[in-house]
Amino acid sequence: MNRLIYFLPLLLLLSCDFESEVADRSNAQWQNIEKDLQTALIMAHDGDTIDIPEGYFKFTKSLLLDEKSNIVFKGAGIDKTILSFKNQKEGAEGIKIADCQNITLLDFTIEDASGDNIKVTDTDGITFKRIKAQWTGKVSEKNGAYALYPVLCKNVLIENCIAIGSSDAGIYVGQSDSVIIRNNEAYQNVAGIESENSNFVEIYENIAINNTGGILVFNLPGLTQYGEDIKVYKNVVKENNHRNFAPEGNIVGVVPPGTGIMVLATRNVDIYDNDIIDNRSAGVAVVSYELVATISEEETAEAKEEQAGSAQRVNSNYDLDENYNPFPWGVKIRQNNIRNDKWFATFQHDFGKLFNFKYPFNPPDIVFDGFMAKGKTAKDILCIDQKDVHFVNLDAPNDLENMNEDLDEFACN
């Protein structure tokens, strides 16, 4: 009993959720350029640069840019040009760009859109550079889903950007091809950085700290294309132990707090040379959509009805997509610095509680759910070249009956 009393304050401390409010704007001097800026976007000719001066600017409607080419949308710098949509009354996005070519967004802060801060769709050539996209105040499931959200795009570059407070993913690329995500920072999002159903993606030299999950590589059913050929390297993925504040039913709601990197049902993913540090539940998790569907069975129809928007939902009928393969394969985890000095996995999720019970004082570095596609060997699914890591195979297909730490069958040749 005395030992329990001794550890109780520590357990309570480890269960606490440390959050900080973002960007106090109480003393800002707000200006109104909404009509002039939207007019400039409508009237822009190919090759124009639209300059926004330093200052604080409020908007009540989405800013729209359609069917333009070679446009530069430029502020005076991060934290110098502030575009706020906190009082938005029309539209879901802060900035919405569609059916364009070669658009560059740089040097401004955008915040508090009703939905996504910046959404870009059906565009060939989109560059985000030195953009901060965030929700101010304490994080909430009412925050928008995505801070930066290119979808159905080609030739995407996101660099030197900052994303904070997204209820889904801070920096997200969906159903896109030829993508570079580099030198960015992601804090206090459910997912810091996410590649979803995208091809030929490189995610490198980013910092993901204090998200629920640091970097996600997902492949989901029922969409226009499937993703493969992803490289995740030279990133700092540290202390991603934030509570999961995704709206109920969203796919990222299944991500356990304390997840460094998570691969879901994606092919040909190479994870190497990353610093994956002090993520309390798992440094790297490799899972199938079978597991996602299983742990999401209790989701109610009412929850599905209430939540709407751009975020992807759990699809309980994923097996109706005949072209979708719910299993990962060709995943390599090699030469990463995976370290966890935390004594306990999270207490906010069933998997964390399981790890604390099964492996007290020793949370896993790498977790595999155990689901494998027919005809695939263990090494076809997952190849691990790491020294001194704690590996756990959940054996989820057999209800965790043979949960084990046998790394040998997954060791790279």
165-184 average pLDDT score? 98
Asked if residue 354 has pLDDT above 90, the reply is no
Measured in whole angstroms, the distance separating CA 306 from the mean position of its chain's CA atoms is: 22
- pLDDT exceeds cutoff 50 at 15: no
Q: What is the pTM of this model?
A: 0.91
The average pLDDT across 152-159 equals 98
Contact 315, 222 (CB under 8 A): yes
- Say yes or no to pLDDT of 136 above 80: yes
So what's the pLDDT on residue 300?
37
Range of the domain at 146: 115-410
Percentage of the chain lying above the pLDDT 90 cut: 73
Query: Per-residue confidence at 283, pLDDT binned at 50, 70, 90?
Result: very high
Q: How confident is the prediction for the chain on average, in pLDDT?
A: 89
Q: Are 367 and 392 in contact (CB under 8 A)?
A: yes
Mean pLDDT of 364-379: 91
Which residue has better confidence, 111 or 297? 111
The answer to which of 17-31, 200-214, 215-229, 367-381 has the lowest mean pLDDT is: 17-31
CATH for 375 = 2.160.20
The least confident of 312-316, 341-345, 346-350 is 312-316
How far is the C-alpha of 65 from the C-alpha of 103, rounded, in Å? Answer: 10
Cβ-based neighbours of 385, under 8 Å, separated by 6 or more: 332, 333, 334, 335, 411, 412
**194-251 residue pLDDT tens:** 999 999 999 999 999 999 999 999 999 999 999 999 999 999 999 999 999 999 888 9
Taking residues 240-266, report their average pLDDT.
Answer: 93
| Higher per-residue pLDDT: 79 or 311 | 79
Greatest mean pLDDT among 23-27, 149-153, 307-311: 149-153
| Structural domain total, the chain | 1
pLDDT at 314: 67
- In 152-255, DSSP assigns E strands to 154-159, 162-164, 169-174, 177-182, 185-187, 191-196, 199-204, 207-209, 213-218, 228-233, 236-238
Has residue 399 been placed in a domain?
Answer: yes
pLDDT above 80 for 340: yes
Average pLDDT over residues 11-25: 53
Cβ(115)–Cβ(89) below 8 Å = no
Q: How far apart are CA 142 and CA 297, in angstroms?
A: 23
Q: Which residue has the higher pLDDT, 409 or 8?
A: 409
Residue 306 pLDDT: 43
Return phi, psi of residue 349, to 5°. -150, 150
Q: How confident is the model at residue 183 (pLDDT cuts 50, 70, 90)?
A: very high
* Residue 92 CB partners (closer than 8 Å, separation 6+): 62, 113, 114, 115, 116, 144, 309, 310
| 214 occurs within a structural domain | yes
Torsion, CA 133, CA 83, CA 157, CA 163, rounded to 10: -10
Q: How far apart are CA 410 and CA 358, in angstroms?
A: 21
- What per-residue confidence (pLDDT) applies to 274? 98
Q: Which of 33-37, 172-176, 397-401 has the lowest mean pLDDT?
A: 397-401
Instruction: Please report whether residue 95 resides in a domain.
Output: no
For the record, the structure tokens of 314 come out as 């759990």
**The pLDDT value given to residue 13:** 40
Q: pLDDT tens digit string along 84-132?
A: 999 999 999 999 999 999 999 999 999 999 999 999 999 999 999 999 9
- Position 343 scores a pLDDT of 80
What pLDDT was estimated at residue 27?
80
Please indicate whether residue 17 or residue 201 has the higher confidence score (pLDDT). 201
Least confident of 233-247, 289-303, 367-381: 289-303
pLDDT higher than threshold 70 for residue 296: no
Q: What is the pLDDT of residue 356?
A: 79
The two tokens of residue 86 are 């906190």
When pLDDT is averaged across residues 180-206 and rounded to a whole number, the result is 98
**Torsional class of 268: left (φ above 0), alpha (ψ -120 to 50), beta (otherwise):** left
| Residue 45 placed within a domain | no
pLDDT at 303 over 90: no
- Asked, for residue 59, whether it belongs to a domain, the answer is no
The Cα 148–Cα 134 span in angstroms is 9
Edge-to-edge strands, sheet with 90-98: 61-66, 90-98, 118-121, 146-151, 169-174, 191-196, 213-218, 259-264, 282-287, 366-368, 391-393
pLDDT of 299 higher than 90: no
Per-residue pLDDT at 8: 34
Tokens describing residue 26: 């109480």
Window from 91-105, 161-175, 182-196, 343-357 with minimum mean pLDDT: 343-357
Q: Tell which residue, 388, 297, 387, 368, has the closest CA to residue 328.
A: 368
In a domain, residue 27? The reply is no
Token code pair at residue 409: 């069958």
Per-residue exposure over 65-79, b if at least 16 CB sit within 10 Å of its own CB, e if not: beebbbbbbbbeebe
- Residue 34 inside a domain? The answer is no
Q: What is the pLDDT of residue 316?
A: 66
22 within a domain of the structure (yes/no): no
